[in-house]
Structure 1
């Protein structure tokens, strides 16, 4: 039976969660509880929406103007087997499709994991590893605290990683239902709370499509 993914959110195009323009899949469920997590709604395993791998593969393969996908969450390696199957399905149609993932676990720990962990690692081009530590928050590219690492797992993004390390920023967008969504790694601590308070004061509803800072 083809595995299904428990998905918190998806985004068609994003330029602040990895190299170039890419899709993002936020998975639902995380065994970690990093203090200061900016996407706490993705932590419970009993939330999210069950999505079929073929459906998600059709969506990703059919997107124009993207060079790959970023898996965030939640904890992507809690659903590693399903994400590996998703990449295989997409690459049957788009062999050069890039893949990046976040994990609150260190790369060394993931390598000691089971077959599903190994399968996903083998298919990724770039890994951001390690838990978010609020006391070490930094204005960094694609990560929230300076203990986290950008680990190339292929040669695909090595040139990009050689560029100066500066924050990728935050993207805001107004949706068809007039709610506001955002994506990215906050360059300053307390970003989400401050943004929500300012928007609420102006009558906006915030719909989070964000990376938890880890």
Structure 2
């Protein structure tokens, strides 16, 4: 058996991850029913980003690997986790440690991530990024390009690729490549949230305009934490 590259970090349980938001269950950001972690902070500035509040490295909530591991391991009926953001590979070592900790308790736990960087660049990006790559089953790579927006499954523009890193999701990847859509939910405290990749450009602006016309304002997790 080939040993996985080890990320560089201190005490795994106390390693911090800057998180913009989490979602217990989602069916539009990867195969099956999944939890989602949106990390805070991205070095890229893709025009038309649907999660612009996750771009600054300031803000978000610092959560330990131990805390997120307990959360994921106590969720019933999920296939795995999707790492989004923000840019997950800006926190590669901590996220690799998170996947290791979860799989010690749930060995068959799936993992998928988004990145604005191409797979080839990530493989040359140093040991921490390589460590996270080696723990993923599926990668969606490349920056969002508004001019190339498409109605595609799990991604926003046709330059982005679904890169299988294991054969775990081979059956899902063989299905027709069409949009998975968007899920909108209302939390018990009245908070409105949505997840997914909009099939048409400008979704967020139109959603905010329609809410504003009815007297509602869409607040983001990152803004509330600042």
Q: Same fold (TM over 0.5)?
A: yes
Q: Structure 1, residues 30-76: CA drift from partner, whole Å, max 9, x if none?
A: 00000001111100011111100000000001100101000000000
- Shift >3 Å, 4+ stretches: none
TM-score by length of 1: 0.95
Determine whether 1:42 maps to 2:54: yes
164, 178, 197: which is aligned to 1:152?
164
155, 166, 180: which is aligned to 1:143?
155
- C-alpha distance in structure 2 between counterparts of 1:38 and 1:163, whole Å: 25
- C-alpha distance in structure 1 between counterparts of 2:102 and 2:67, whole Å: 10
Structure 1 equivalent of residue 145 of structure 2 = 133
121, 125, 129: which is aligned to 1:117?
129
User: Any gaps of 5 or more consecutive residues in structure 2?
Assistant: 1-9, 222-226
Shift of 1:199: 1.1
Shift of 1:206: 2.4
User: Any gaps of 5 or more consecutive residues in structure 1?
Assistant: 210-214
- C-alpha distance in structure 2 between counterparts of 1:78 and 1:44, whole Å: 12
Determine whether 1:83 maps to 2:95: yes
Shift of 1:122: 0.5
Over the aligned positions, Cα root-mean-square deviation in angstroms equals: 1.0
Kindly indicate whether the alpha-carbon contact (under 8 Å) linking 1:182 and 1:207 is maintained by their aligned counterparts in 2.
no
TM-score by length of 2: 0.90
Provide the aligned length of Structure 1 versus Structure 2.
Answer: 209
